[in-house]
Amino acid sequence: MENLRIAVVSPDEAYNRVFCMSLLHACRQIEAKAYTTRQFILNWADYEGPGAFYDCFDLVLWAGDEISDSYGDNIIYLTDRASLTGMDYAAGKFAIYRYSPTGTIVAQIFDIYSHLTGRGFPLVKRNDVRLIAFASYCGGSGCTTAARAVAQELTRFHGKRVFCISLEDVESAGEFMTVPDGIKTEGEFLYRLLGKGNRTFLDSYMVSDAFGVCSFAPPAGRNPLGELSADDMRNLLAALMDSGRFDVIISDLSTCLTDAATAIMEAAERICVTAKAGEPGARERSYMGQLAGSCGQDIGSRVVRSVLSRAEGGVTDIGAPLEGEFGKEISKLTEKLINMVE
């Protein structure tokens, strides 16, 4: 599937236009075409091809009483009352709230399409997706801050499409972006991918920050990614790379040294180890020795040691543009990492 073809039908022409624009802006895999109810019904009556006119579209999003009791198949009801929403997977009948945030609607659209067709993202074999890991031997060195800041730098100033994964026990993704209602969590994505072998669409499980950096919607409790086996983590990384959606995958390992973290460091082209100011102490040397034992003696050639002034102490408020000395440090670190992998 190259693009998801969607018809948006309602009596309100202005609403149709705005709704389609918001879908196109939120996801470039969507082709949305607006119809007033009269236009769509006339086209339906005049259609001379096989099947009904609505078969020309992957999904039809219909806002109006004409379809309120008979929606089904690929016709999705856009209701103006939140109390009437429903996802009846068994009957194949779906009603979504027309005034939900666009991110929520896009997630629901891909989830419904995947359920109706059994299809997921197409495999796009790529050898040019970069994997950069951020790790630390101690908490409070700013590992998460550095990972997120570099991701934003790559997106804003280098035109890269970036996906971040975190192995923190309790994810901090919610501090960097808003998670709309209706977005499924990474645990559900893992179940579909690893448990059922289904390449389900990432859009149903993905959120992004103000600069376009993407992540899984974090779970409410413990992060399941750090507990994956090495093979399952490799499968997850392969799925993200083969989706064709991203140029760079950044992994925030924090202090995690599980099999999943080791699998990422073995595959990463560069490992940025955030440290506190001063010469490496016994703890840092011990950490590097453990990495060498787990990932091979050549790991030192892939490690970049980084001390960021603002990141020390675990400061994670990087929602604002990166400015001042911290912005310069992030810019230099990003350039260094890019130059080493290109």
The pLDDT of residue 309 is above 80? no
> Does this model's pTM top 0.95?
no
Strand 75-79 to strand 59-62: parallel, antiparallel, or no bridges (unpaired)?
parallel
The confidence score (pLDDT) of residue 122 equals 59
The pLDDT of residue 232 is above 80? yes
- In DSSP terms, which residues pair with 8 in a beta bridge? 34, 61
The yes-or-no answer to whether 4-117 and 130-341 have a common fold is yes
Domain locations in the chain as residue ranges: 4-117, 130-341
**DSSP assignment letter at 330:** H
Q: What percent of the chain has pLDDT over 90?
A: 40
Q: What percent of the chain has pLDDT over 70?
A: 91
Phi, psi of 200 (to 5 degrees): -65, 155
How far is CA 316 from its chain centroid?
20
Average pLDDT, the chain: 85
Q: Minimum mean pLDDT among 259-263, 283-287, 307-311: which range?
A: 307-311
The confidence score (pLDDT) of residue 342 equals 58
164 and 175 Cβ atoms separated by less than 8 Å? no
Domain 130-341 sits in CATH 3.40.50.300? yes
The residue-averaged pLDDT of 193-202 equals 78
The confidence score (pLDDT) of residue 318 equals 47
Which of 38-52, 244-258, 276-290 reaches the highest mean pLDDT? 244-258
CA distance 74 to 260: 39
The residue-averaged pLDDT of 274-295 equals 87
Q: What tens digit of pLDDT does each residue of 93-134 get? A: 999 999 988 888 988 898 898 888 877 665 555 668 999 999
CA distance 178 to 167: 19
- Our separate counts of H helices and E strands in the chain read 9, 13
The confidence score (pLDDT) of residue 221 equals 80
The confidence score (pLDDT) of residue 316 equals 42
Higher per-residue pLDDT: 106 or 309: 106
pLDDT category at 341 given cuts 50, 70, 90 is low
The pLDDT of residue 195 is above 90? no
Task: Give the class (CATH, top level) of 4-117.
Answer: alpha beta
34 and 13 Cβ atoms separated by less than 8 Å? yes
CA distance 229 to 238: 14
Q: What tens digit of pLDDT does each residue of 312-340 get? A: 444 444 444 466 788 889 999 999 888 76
132 and 251 Cβ atoms separated by less than 8 Å? yes
How far is CA 334 from its chain centroid?
21
The residue-averaged pLDDT of 146-165 equals 94
The confidence score (pLDDT) of residue 2 equals 60
